Amino acid sequence: MEYNFSAIEKKWQKHWNETKAYQVKNESDKPKYYVLDMFPYPSGSGLHVGHPLGYIASDIFARYKRLKGFNVLHPMGYDAFGLPAEQYAIDHGIHPAVSTEKNINTYRNQLDNIGFSFDWDREIRTCEPGYYKWTQWIFLQLFNSYYDRNEKKAKPVQHLIAAFEKEGNQQHVCPANNQLSFTAGEWKSKSEKEQLSILMDYRLAYCGYGEVNWCEALGTVLANDEVINGVSERGGFPVVKKKLRQWYLRITEYADRLLTGLEKVDFSEALKEMQSNWIGKSYGAEVDFAINETQETLRVYTTRPDTIFGVDFMVVAPEHELIAKITTAEQKTAVDDYIAYVKSRSERERMAEKKITGVFTGAYAVNPFSKKLIPIWISEYVLAGYGTGAIMAVPCGDERDFKFAQHFDIPVTNIIGDAFNGEEANPTKDAVLQQSDFLNGMVMRDAIEVAAQKIEDAGIGTRKVNFKMRDAAFSRQRYWGEPIPVKWKNGSAYALNESELPLTLPHIESYKPGPEGEGPLANVPEWVAQELETNTMPGYAGSSWYFLRYMDPHNNETFCDRKVSDYWGQVDLYVGGTEHAVGHLLYSRMWTKALFDLGHIGFDEPYKRLVNQGKIGGDSRLVYRVRGTNEFVSFGLKEQYETDEIHVDVNIVRGTELDTEAFKKSKPDFANATFVLEDGKYICGTRLEKMSKRYFNVVNPDDLVARYGADTFRMYEMFLGPVEQDKPWDTKGIEGVHRFLKKLWRLFYDEQKGKVWTNETPTDQEYKIIYKAIKKIEEDIERFSLNTVVSGLMVCVNELTDAKCSKKEILEKLLIALSPYAPHAAEELWSLLENKSSVLEASFPEVEEKYLIESEKEYPVSVNGKTRTTMMLSLDATQEEVEKLALANDVVQKWLEGKSPKKIIYVKGRMINVVV
């Protein structure tokens, strides 16, 4: 009887399926535990070996929790809306619904291969009307709500309207415009359109205008990563910024709660820090500077009002509206040229740029205290979206300001004396201020407050808490997403009624963008005739609340029954990649808070504990396109051209040599590609980077499962290293894990002798082996160290083999501990041990400590910190005994060289160190 993994795995997968072994009920006497994976976007390339890493880890944990007596919810589904399916439709004319369905089926087959314990009766797909009906419903909840700053929670807009009718907006500062003020009478006298426009500035889901990457040649809006060096990835056409009407979520109202909420969740410190940096809370002041010889003022935001006497110039963002008004005639051409240059650049390029660029407007601001004239410059390093889009530059204290001043020969005022060396800026807060009028002699840290107060007293500014976080853009000019349930009448947006949901996505044949940058829905006559919104929701809409739908996936009355969400509550363990650290996690935290505020659920943080799985690295292949052409140059010759690098599918590359014919067929854009070869070959560049569909460097798990079995594959993925850590994929080592399972099998059945397991009573030594292993396995899994669990299992099998132990009582414990990792082999052997029930129903073994008690230990003995020998000592040896024995030791004597020791350090159970 040998280890026939493929027969065993098929047999048990069928059995578990037929017996609904993984079905979970919403009622139970057992304590609940919710284990969730970040669900996949079903890409056309299928699952690669990087995807299941987290799924396997969470599956192991879910199975382990079940063995520990929990009612475990462990669902899976698909984040099925998204850009790639739409791009595929544009390239191949296949409807996204069709390709998505096909991709999901591929994913499902691949997942089933690996033997997960998902309750598939709870599967969800974000692109199905039965699901997105509720995504739209939640959107309406947000649309029909505002954030009450007094109560610090979301409330229905009816409350707001009632307040407006009673007292105007005195109690409710408008988040979009804090200057806005009206009385009850004024409110009532406004037209419906005016009222709706005001309400829009309060809603949690609102419509506004924002800049997008607009590509005229493609007639469409592009994602940041579809833009390379200011041209489109497809076709290499110019891309410029364009203002478009957009939907937004007013996530900024939740900034403080998103920040403080981090204190009550178990995320890694690194991840919390990423989120708080994203939120970017800063304390500072807005200060108005008069502009010389005009009536205009320039408002800047600064976190360092204490440096106001060190301001040597102003910098405004190239988008700043004052530029047109203040630029002098002689500077106009230079300014226009510079603005045209900036328009071609992405925000990321602008922030990353090391080269200093800028232009002088010709205008001067006036320092409100010193009355000094300050030149106003324009530079791309100041972003329009942050603060007021203008800064006061203090070169002696800010590195970027200092470099700018050097580059443009602007004289630098030193307000911190010796703390500034003239060579580089010093951003300290601890220097003593000089040349600073009323701040002279003060430590900067204290002067911040004094300056802020003075600014407020003088009526030229106010203290201001700023957030780097901006409201989340919530619309896409695309087809394959949730339709936004809104109608436009007379230029006002009206929400659909709940009864009109779902607003289903119409079937279309052409995926071309609509007129003026609108989405494809603008080309659908019936859609436009109903005055429906033509934007769709972004990729993160469906994923912002999916963890709730799994609890109650078939409910047609509500998104999730309150009783059910009260039972399951928060996700106890959430596993997924760090790439979602800020986007998805912040959005779903915000949605959860809003749903909580409105009373739909009973908790305001979705995920109690989060584990970030590392990425499995892939080995990518690159080709080099000569800029603005369709000519591709081989790796060794690329330096002779100006090129853009493009990833190419590793499957059409042999080693590093590109199959040029296959390349031409891979995309319509490449059909007419030409090549510059070296030695008759096109050689690709290589790069180790994450394994991802976008890099075309995926390795498929199916082949490995076919060859070694799911159990081997599962264990090998875990054995690669810590789940949280990034690591390169290498198939080589998988043999070792496969050998382990065969070795385990031989404890039960021998190739020659057949059955070797017995019902004999184990010895103390054998108990010790198994309990030592169980203890390690349990400790390691609790801290999510699954690679060391696998090695623990290996050590256990090695030791049992050496001890020739094949006793049923020992082997059963081993199988239970193994079952989360290698469920099929464990179940087969479990039944071969003549167990009637499934190993899934077993209980995790309790460790009997009495077998683990040791009386002595081999201590390392070091002299001056270097280990020289070891000594076997009783564990309750005293300091005196140890000193005597250590000094009597030959090796210690040798290293003492006749000298007497200064001190002998003895740490019980650890080590002995003789200090000379």
Q: Using the minimum distance from each CB to RNA, give the nearer residue, 163 or 911.
A: 911
CB within 8 A of 50, min separation 6: which ones?
A: 615, 616, 618, 690, 691, 692, 698, 729
In this structure, the chain runs to a length of 916
Classify the C-alpha dihedral 582-585-591-597 as positive or negative. negative
How far apart CA 827 and CA 7 sit, in angstroms, is 13
CB of 36 to RNA, least distance (A): 15
Residues in region 557-576 near RNA by CB under 7 A: none
Tokens of 279: 């939120």
Q: Please provide the DSSP assignment of 784-810 as one string.
A: T-HHHHHHHHHHHHHHHHHTT--BHHH
Pick one of 21, 83, 290, 564: the residue that binds RNA (CB under 7 A). Answer: 83
C-alpha to C-alpha distance for 340 and 359, rounded to whole angstroms = 12
Choices 98-106, 331-339, 536-544, 649-657 (CB under 7 A): range interacting with RNA: 536-544
Residue indicated by tokens 């994923």: 543
Amino acid at 265: V
The tokens describing 729, both together, are 């994929």
Q: Which of 257, 776, 807, 813 binds RNA (CB under 7 A)?
A: 776
Amino acid at residue number 618: G
| 426-449 per-residue burial string, b: 16 or more CB within 10 A, e: under 16 | beeeebbbbebeebeebebeebbe
Q: What's the rounded Cα separation, in Å, for the pair 825 and 857?
A: 37
The residue (of 22 and 708) whose beta carbon lies closer to RNA is 708
- Residue 64 CB, nearest distance to RNA (Å)? 16
**Closest CB to RNA among residues 666, 862:** 862
Q: Note whether 219 binds RNA by CB under 7 A.
A: no
Our CB check for RNA shows the closer of 4 and 558 to be: 4
Tokens of 703: 């082949």
DSSP string, 140-163: HHHHTEEEETTTTEEEEHHHHHHH
Question: Closest distance between RNA and the C-beta of residue 351, in Å?
Answer: 4
For tokens 């000298």, the residue is 899
CA distance 137 to 282: 34
- Helix ranges restricted to H, 359-509: 399-407, 444-457
> With respect to RNA, which residue has the nearer C-beta, 519 or 762?
519
Number of residues that bind RNA (CB under 7 A): 107
Among 469, 521, 524, 715, contact with RNA (rule: CB under 7 A): 469
* Alpha carbon distance 825, 811 (integer Å): 13
Provide the 10 A C-beta neighbour count for residue 264. Answer: 9
CB of 347 to RNA, least distance (A): 5
Q: Which residue number, 747 or 826, has a Cβ lying nearer to RNA?
A: 747
Identify the residue among 512, 687, 707, 908 touching RNA (CB under 7 A): 687
Least separation in angstroms between CB 797 and RNA: 8
Q: Which stretch binds RNA (CB under 7 A): 100-108, 308-316, 564-572, 774-782?
A: 774-782
Residue 156 or 721: which CB sits closer to RNA? 721
Name which of 429 and 727 has its Cβ closer to RNA: 727
Positions in 827-886 near RNA (CB under 7 A): 857-858, 860, 862, 864-868, 870
Indicate whether 212 belongs to the interface with RNA (CB under 7 A). yes
How many angstroms separate the CA atoms of 660 and 666, rounded?
A: 10
- Rounded distance, CA 430 to CA 756, Å? 76
Q: Which residues, 238 to 267, sit near RNA by CB under 7 A?
A: 244, 246
Between 352 and 529, name the residue whose CB sits nearer to RNA. 352
Biggest CA–CA distance in the chain, Å, is 103
122 binds RNA (CB under 7 A): no
| Minimal distance, residue 489 CB to RNA, in Å | 23
Q: Does 615 bind RNA (CB under 7 A)?
A: yes
Gap between the Cα atoms of 394 and 400, Å rounded: 9
Q: How far apart are CA 163 and CA 172, in angstroms?
A: 9
Of the residues 103, 475, 565, 806, which one makes contact with RNA according to CB under 7 A:
475
User: Minimum CB separation from RNA for residue 693, in Å?
Assistant: 8
One character per residue 702-741, x = contact with RNA (rule: CB under 7 A) = -----------------xxxx--xxxx-x-xx-xxx-xx-
Choices 25-33, 197-205, 224-232, 449-457; region in contact with RNA by CB under 7 A: 224-232
- Measured from the CB atom, the residue of 615 and 813 that comes closer to RNA is 615
> Rounded CA gap, 297 and 320, in Å?
13
CB 856 within 8 A of CB 874: yes
Q: Which of 580, 593, 768, 813 binds RNA (CB under 7 A)?
A: 580
Chosen residue from 30, 694, 755, 850 binding RNA by CB under 7 A: 694
CB of 484 vs RNA, minimal distance in Å: 12
- Contacts of RNA in 399-428 (CB under 7 A): 399-400
Among 189, 224, 530, 843, binds RNA (CB under 7 A): 224
Task: Output DSSP code: residue 625.
Answer: E
Interface pattern 156-195 for RNA (x via CB under 7 A)? ----------------------------------------
- Which residue do the tokens 């500035």 mark? 201
Shortest CA distance to 311 belongs to which of 386, 391, 379, 380? 391
Q: Which of residues 310-349 bind RNA (CB under 7 A)?
A: 347-348
Nearer to RNA, 92 or 739 (CB): 739
Nearer to RNA, 196 or 911 (CB): 911
C-alpha dihedral sign at 744, 749, 753, 756? positive
Do β-strands 153-156 and 145-148 pair in parallel, antiparallel, or remain unpaired? Answer: antiparallel
CA dist 220 to 143, 214, 663, 855, 876, Å? 27, 6, 26, 75, 77
Q: Are 24 and 71 in contact (CB under 8 A)?
A: yes
Nearest to RNA of 83, 450 (CB atom):
83
Shortest distance, CB of residue 38 to RNA, whole angstroms?
A: 8
User: Which secondary-structure segment (H or E) carries 728?
Assistant: strand 727-728
Q: What share of the chain is helix, strand, coil (3-state, %, to 5)?
A: 40, 20, 35
Least Å from the CB of residue 6 to RNA: 17
Q: Is 213 among the residues that bind RNA (CB under 7 A)?
A: yes
Candidates 61-69, 438-446, 462-470, 646-654; binding stretch for RNA (CB under 7 A): 462-470
Cis peptide before 502 (omega within 30 of 0): yes
Smallest gap, in angstroms, from Cβ of residue 704 to RNA?
Answer: 14
Task: Tell me which residues in 273-302 interact with RNA (CB under 7 A).
Answer: 273-274, 277-278, 280
Site string for RNA, 482-521 (x = CB under 7 A): ----------------------------------------
CB count within 10 Å of CB 192 equals 10
Torsion of CA 635, 637, 638, 642, to 10 degrees: -160
Give least dist CB 227 to RNA, A: 8
Contact segment (CB under 7 A) with RNA among 140-148, 424-432, 681-689, 811-819 equals 681-689
Site for RNA in 144-163 (CB under 7 A): none
**Residues from 29 through 68 that contact RNA (CB under 7 A):** 40-41
Among the candidate windows 105-113, 154-162, 490-498, 690-698, which touches RNA by CB under 7 A?
Answer: 690-698
Closest approach, Cβ 905 to RNA, in A, equals 4
Measured CA to CA, the distance from residue 619 to residue 667 in angstroms comes to 21
